[in-house]
Amino acid sequence: MRDRRHPAYWGFVLHRVSGIGLALFLPLHFWALGHAIQGEAALEGFLRFTDNWAFKTGEWGLVTLLALHLAGGLRVLALEFLGWRARQKDLVALSAGFALGAGLMFLLHAG
């Protein structure tokens, strides 16, 4: 059992899990938007079909995952390209905070 009890490791796990989630969602997202090829009515039909609490919850999850993956990715880029070695723990916390904030904002606006 490797030692995994430190913030940068949690940051890695969140980044990987959110990345897998987003990568699996991406083809669905493009397929759904592809309805627009058949005109505005087809897209509207799809949007009405997804206008319920189950899809709203999913959308909230995706927005949170996207924000999480963005913030976690910026942490990695800061380390790799700017050599920011200090305050990595704070950056992990900041990433989580940013994701929660984005998710909350989505809920407030979608409500």
Partner 1 sequence: MRGQVHLWAAQRITAFVLAAAVFVHLATIMLAVRGGLSAAEIVARLSGAEGWLAFYAVFALAAGIHGAIGMRNIAGEWLGWRGRGFDALWLGIGLVTAAFGIRAAWGLYHA
Partner 2 sequence: MAQLKVRIQRSDGIAEYAVAARENQTVLDVVTEIQREQQPDLAYRFACRVGMCGSCAMEVNGVARWTCRTHVRKVAEDGTLTLRPLANLPVIRDLATDMKPFFDKWARARGQFQPKDAPNGAVPVEFAVVPPSSPKRQEADAGIECIGCGVCYASCDVVSWNPDYLGPAALNRAWTLVNDVRDGGRRERLDAVAGDAGCHSCHSTQGCTERCPKNLDPSSAIAGLKRSIFWGVLAP
Shortest Å distance, C-beta 17 to partner 1: 10
Between residues 4 and 29, which has the closer beta carbon with respect to partner 2? 4
Handedness of CA 27, 30, 15, 101 (dihedral sign): negative
Q: Counting contacts by CB under 8 A, is residue 79 touching partner 1?
A: no
Using CB under 8 A, which residues numbered 72 to 111 contact partner 2? Answer: 76, 79-81, 83, 85, 88
Give CA separation, 19 vs 8, 51, 60, 75, 96, in Å.
Answer: 16, 25, 16, 14, 14
Two tokens, residue 79: 């380390």
Shortest Å distance, C-beta 5 to partner 1: 21
Separation between Cα atoms, residue 56 and residue 50, nearest integer Å? 8
Binding site for partner 2 (CB under 8 A): 1-4, 6, 8-9, 12, 16, 76, 79-81, 83, 85, 88
